[in-house]
Amino acid sequence: MDTKVFVESKDKLVRNCGKVIVGKDDITEQILICLVASGHVLLEDLPGTGKTMLLRAFSKSIGGDFKRIQFTPDLMPSDLTGINFYNQKKGEFEFRAGAVFTNLILADEINRAVPRSQSALLEVMEEKQISVDGVTYKVCEPYIVMATQNPIESYGTFPLPEAQLDRFFMKLSLGYMTREQEIGILRREETSKIVESLEQVITIEDINAMRATFPKVAVSDEIASYIMDIIEFTRNSSLLTNGVSARGSLALYKASQIHAAMNGRDYVIPEDVKKEAQAVLPHRLALTGRSHVNNLGFVRNMLEEIEVPLEQGRLERN
């Protein structure tokens, strides 16, 4: 298979978003992997680290319809899904679509909304449709929810329920910039102006082409078995109250394929799996009180313990 569209799309996005957020090329690539996999992404970090700005830059770079929703405690579920209202002129009810009817949703500070409003996203994230008063409405494609949240310890936050966390393909964190990178930010023009000046660099056709092609990336029996070794480790660990779901194992499989293609290969190697496991798995785990590391630390320790397949070369796809 030809991986050219994957490599070129990644390079164009990284360059474009790099004009806004410096030194976070890896995060941009991971968000693109989510989009190609038809998944959703959750960015968690402290306020002011550039979460919203990066997602705005990403949205501008891929085109499509975009809506930003500021999640607050007074946000109602109907603000997201829409409502049926009575049109007196026509003498009938009409559906007024909510904010989720778009290609790209930026759910800003999602954990500042009450759980009832958070749950309104559940159906659309999984099924790509919304039910209002017994009638089902489908959303546009491509469709991705890009959510930001502040750490749970922050004042005025409501933890996302496990069912909703599992529906996010990845959970990512930007972290602070280096000293040199931040000095560069201080010296340049206002970031919001740069975002508004960004042009679209990849098309919906590019995205659809990658979605249609990535399942052809070869995954050998050894690599598939390696993925299941990782998943079963989480299910059998005494340090976890629950392991990774079947949805999580499928997400790791897909992410590994797309990561391979974006690096110019039509086959998956263990390094693809290791890389993506650190973005796909941690938010799906629930640690017991006996664990002395956080979720990401657990995944990294686990990857050190599990035996890696020896075969590193090109593997035939069954």
**Residue 90 pLDDT:** 84
**Residue 315 pLDDT:** 46
For residues 113 and 170, the model is more confident at 170
Amino acid 247 reads R
**Residue 116 pLDDT:** 86
Mean pLDDT of all residues in 80-106: 87
Return the CATH superfamily for domain 20-202.
P-loop containing nucleotide triphosphate hydrolases (3.40.50.300)
Length, in residues, of the chain = 318
Q: What is the residue whose two structure tokens read 């070794």?
A: 229
Mean pLDDT of all residues in 207-228: 97
Amino acid 191 reads T
From the CB of residue 176, how many other CB atoms can be counted at a distance below 10 Å?
13
Q: To the nearest whole percent, how much of the chain has pLDDT over 70?
A: 94
So where are the chain's domains? 20-202, 217-305
Render pLDDT for 61-89 as a digit per residue (tens, 0 to 9): 998 778 889 999 999 989 998 988 888 88
Amino acid 241 reads T
Note the pTM of the prediction, 2 decimals: 0.89
Return the CATH superfamily for domain 217-305.
Magnesium chelatase subunit I, C-Terminal domain (1.10.8.80)
Render pLDDT for 164-173 as a digit per residue (tens, 0 to 9): 889 999 999 8
For helices 295-305 and 270-280, the axis angle rounded to 10 degrees is 160
What confidence category does residue 245 fall into, taking pLDDT thresholds of 50, 70 and 90?
very high
**Residue 155 pLDDT:** 60
Does position 156 have pLDDT exceeding 70, yes or no?
Answer: no
Nearest-angstrom CA–CA distance, 46 and 152: 10
For residues 88 and 217, the model is more confident at 217
Nearest-angstrom CA–CA distance, 70 and 273: 34
Amino acid 112 reads R
User: Quick one: DSSP state of residue 267?
Assistant: B
Q: Strands 66-70 and 104-108: what pairing?
A: parallel
Phi-psi region of 134 (alpha: psi -120 to 50; beta: other; left: phi over 0): left
What confidence category does residue 139 fall into, taking pLDDT thresholds of 50, 70 and 90?
confident
Does position 236 have pLDDT exceeding 80, yes or no?
Answer: yes
Render pLDDT for 264-291 as a digit per residue (tens, 0 to 9): 999 999 999 999 999 999 999 989 887 7
The answer to which of 23-27, 78-82, 193-197, 299-303 has the lowest mean pLDDT is: 193-197
Nearest-angstrom CA–CA distance, 300 and 296: 6
Closest by Cα among 118, 139, 119 to 129: 139
> What SS3 state is found at 149?
strand
From the CB of residue 303, how many other CB atoms can be counted at a distance below 10 Å?
18
212-226 in b/e form (b: 16+ CB < 10 A) is: ebbeebbbbeebbeb
Q: Strands 129-132 and 135-138: what pairing?
A: antiparallel
**Residue 154 pLDDT:** 57
**Residue 189 pLDDT:** 63
Render pLDDT for 37-53 as a digit per residue (tens, 0 to 9): 999 999 887 777 778 88
What confidence category does residue 104 fall into, taking pLDDT thresholds of 50, 70 and 90?
confident
For residues 18 and 6, the model is more confident at 6
The answer to which of 14-18, 135-139, 311-315 has the lowest mean pLDDT is: 311-315
CA distances from 46 to 18, 50, 105, 138 (A): 20, 9, 21, 34
Does position 248 have pLDDT exceeding 90, yes or no?
Answer: yes
Cβ contacts of 41 within 8 Å, gap of 6 or more: 30, 31, 34, 144, 145, 146, 147, 168, 169, 170, 171, 172
